[in-house]
């Protein structure tokens, strides 16, 4: 009975994972398909991977996407971490007001955020890379704050105070005591922000103006004409790189965790 | 220097790029083409075409949220009970698909579900009659559930994982069976996770336009599609802003309702 239940549970999970990974599998297969058609299999080829690196248009969009992702995630991480530290020191009233405004970009619909930013930008600055960058930083900061905040709450302040009593300056104490304790939250926030930025379409679409393209907006523009197979190749490559990085990250942190457990048990 | 001043850049940022843009969209919404003050753009949501799109979006969003809960809850329970190594690995499995471009993934669903698509090829191999799912609301629903499911599984999984094992054991020691443990402990304690899942699925499902664009074959109009067309095709920004504000207010009222239920829920579950 238990075995049957277990088998059923595994089947259900396999079904969910198949559902989540089926389109990814389709795209990976298409990247090796030696035919421009999306429905017929023309044999195995690597030519789309080769052509990818000679397509200036695609490489430019890739560069914009990566630059945008890294720059907006980095800026959001700095502003957001400082913000979280500051907000936590606020009185209850101020804390509540700032935190509810922080939730706006997360709760509000992408389309409304995108349009609001666009209507604001056209009064201020020309639409282009700069406006998209500002927009991405704006929707990225809340993710950083929300992942740093819990770490700050569980922070052991007496160690920081002990360091200050022993003569450490506030900046020195911050970098040596506070930062190591909230570091994992900051890193998680950075990755979350990077993921959100690279996966965004709607807000970029409304704030980009003419001339700037990320991979998402470029693909959207190509839907009617038909997607270039090079795009499948590039997505497969990006996916593979992230897969390896995350797997290594997972294995490494898993190792660290295991050794911690071992130390814990040997005591 | 007080620690709270470290938040200064952030405060400036949210005033400049979260609050003022909302003021900006409101100003556009309440302005007519001739620059006069008007309610027409806000009230345009009641016009037949817009109202129809709004009701269709509501129906799709409700259906999508419900399906996500039904699919995600067992998945979260199973992920917890199978103990697939650490918590991080489960999250990794659910977040990884997001690293393949979102529009490409939806296009892949179009290839799977279309008339000459992969699904019908497989059905044909087994001798079944081809399914006519492509470009219908069923395809739209599949695409939406696909895209938002991880946002429902993750918070429920987190909530269930955070339940103190001691509470469950205490219940068992006191004679509770599997069903009682689930109804009295696991389910109530997973409610906050489910509520944040509902918010994270319902809002984007209600307001998206890309999925309907691709999987609806241009025939299915969600309110998001109407707003997008006002901006990008008709170039009527005032009307688009007005519809956005109406949509935002409707969603906010819905959220406030969910949150209030949440508070009441907390109030009753203590007793």
CA distance B102 to B121: 24
Q: Name every residue whose Cβ is closer than 8 Å to that of residue A201 and which is 6 or more positions away in sequence.
A: A216, A217, A220, B102, B103, B210
CA distance B222 to B210: 10
Asked if B86's CB is within 8 angstroms of A254's CB, the reply is yes
**Per-residue pLDDT band at B267 (split at 50, 70, 90):** very low
Q: How many CB atoms lie within 10 A of CB A174?
A: 17
| pLDDT of B261 higher than 80 | no
Q: Percent of chain B scored above 90 by pLDDT?
A: 48
Asked if B96's CB is within 8 angstroms of A220's CB, the reply is no
| pLDDT of B259 higher than 70 | no
| pLDDT of B266 higher than 50 | no
Contact list in A for residue B108 (CB cut-off 8 A) is 22-24, 26-27
Cβ-Cβ contacts under 8 Å between A and B: the total is 220
Query: Is A95 in contact with A87 (CB distance < 8 Å)?
Result: yes
The CATH class, in words, for B47-270 is mainly alpha
Q: Name every residue whose Cβ is closer than 8 Å to that of residue B192 and which is 6 or more positions away in sequence.
A: B159, B262
Query: Is B95 in contact with B87 (CB distance < 8 Å)?
Result: no
How high is the mean pLDDT of chain B?
87
pLDDT lower than 70: segments of chain A: 1, 253-267
Query: Is B191 in contact with B235 (CB distance < 8 Å)?
Result: no
Closest Cα in chain B, distance from residue A189 (Å): 14
ipTM: 0.86
Give the DSSP H or E segment for B47: none
Domain of residue A99, residue span: 62-224
Q: Evaluate whether residue A132 is within a structural domain.
A: yes
Provide the number of structural domains found in chain A. 1
Q: What is the pLDDT of residue A259?
A: 39
| pLDDT of B121 higher than 60 | yes
Q: Evaluate whether residue A264 is within a structural domain.
A: no
Helix, coil or strand: residue A80: helix
CATH code of the domain covering residue A149:
1.10.3720.10
CA distance B9 to B29: 29
Query: Is A130 in contact with A70 (CB distance < 8 Å)?
Result: no
Q: Evaluate whether residue A258 is within a structural domain.
A: no
Query: Is B229 in contact with A115 (CB distance < 8 Å)?
Result: no
Q: Evaluate whether residue A27 is within a structural domain.
A: no
Q: Evaluate whether residue A212 is within a structural domain.
A: yes
Q: Evaluate whether residue A151 is within a structural domain.
A: yes
Strands (E), chain A: none
């Amino acid at each position: 009975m238990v075995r049957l239940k277990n088998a059923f549970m595994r089947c259900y999970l396999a079904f969910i994972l198949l559902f989540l990974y089926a389109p990814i599998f389709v795209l990976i297969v298409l990247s090796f398909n030696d035919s421009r058609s999306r429905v017929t299999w023309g044999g195995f080829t690597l030519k789309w991977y080769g052509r990818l690196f000679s397509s200036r248009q695609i490489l430019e969009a890739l560069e914009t996407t990566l630059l945008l992702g890294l720059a907006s995630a980095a800026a959001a991480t700095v502003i957001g971490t400082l913000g979280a530290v500051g907000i936590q020191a606020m009185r209850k009233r101020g804390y509540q007001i700032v935190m509810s405004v922080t939730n706006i970009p997360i709760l509000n619909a992408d389309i409304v955020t995108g349009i609001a930013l666009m209507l604001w930008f056209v009064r201020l600055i020309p639409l282009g890379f700069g406006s998209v960058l500002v927009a991405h930083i704006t929707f990225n900061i809340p993710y950083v704050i929300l992942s740093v905040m819990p770490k700050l709450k569980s922070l052991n302040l007496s160690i920081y105070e002990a360091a200050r009593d022993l003569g450490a300056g506030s900046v020195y104490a911050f970098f040596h005591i506070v930062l190591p304790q909230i570091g994992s939250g900051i890193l998680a926030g950075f990755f979350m922000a990077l993921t959100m930025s690279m996966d965004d379409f709607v807000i970029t679409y409304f704030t980009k103006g003419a001339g700037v393209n990320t991979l998402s907006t470029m693909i959207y523009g190509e839907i009617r004409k038909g997607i270039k197979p090079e795009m499948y190749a590039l997505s497969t490559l990006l996916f593979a790189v992230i897969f390896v990085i995350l797997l290594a990250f997972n294995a490494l942190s898993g190792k660290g965790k295991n050794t911690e457990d071992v130390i814990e048990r040997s005591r | 220097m007080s620690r709270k001043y470290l938040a200064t850049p952030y405060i400036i940022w949210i005033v400049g790029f979260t609050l003022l843009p909302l003021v900006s969209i409101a100003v556009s919404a309440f302005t007519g083409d001739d620059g006069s003050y008007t309610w027409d753009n806000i009230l345009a949501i009641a016009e037949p075409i817009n109202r129809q799109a709004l009701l269709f979006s509501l129906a799709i969003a409700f259906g999508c949220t419900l399906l996500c809960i039904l699919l995600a809850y067992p998945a979260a329970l199973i992920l917890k009970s199978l103990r697939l190594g650490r918590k991080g690995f489960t999250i990794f499995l659910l977040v990884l698909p997001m690293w393949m471009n979102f529009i490409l993934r939806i296009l892949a669903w179009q290839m799977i579900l279309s008339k000459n698509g992969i699904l019908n090829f497989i059905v044909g191999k087994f001798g079944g009659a081809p399914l006519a799912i492509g470009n219908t609301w069923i395809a739209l629903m599949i695409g939406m559930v696909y895209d938002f499911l991880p946002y429902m599984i993750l918070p429920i999984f987190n909530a269930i994982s955070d339940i103190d094992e001691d509470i469950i054991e205490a219940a068992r020691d006191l004679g509770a069976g599997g069903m009682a443990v689930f109804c009295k402990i696991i389910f109530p304690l997973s409610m906050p996770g489910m509520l944040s899942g509902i918010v994270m699925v319902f809002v984007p499902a209600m307001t998206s336009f890309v999925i309907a664009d691709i999987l609806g074959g241009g025939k299915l109009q969600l309110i998001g599609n109407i707003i997008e067309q006002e901006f990008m095709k008709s170039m009527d920004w005032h009307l688009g802003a007005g519809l956005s504000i109406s949509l935002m207010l409707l969603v906010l009222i819905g959220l406030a309702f969910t949150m209030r239920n949440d508070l009441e829920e907390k109030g009753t579950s203590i007793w």
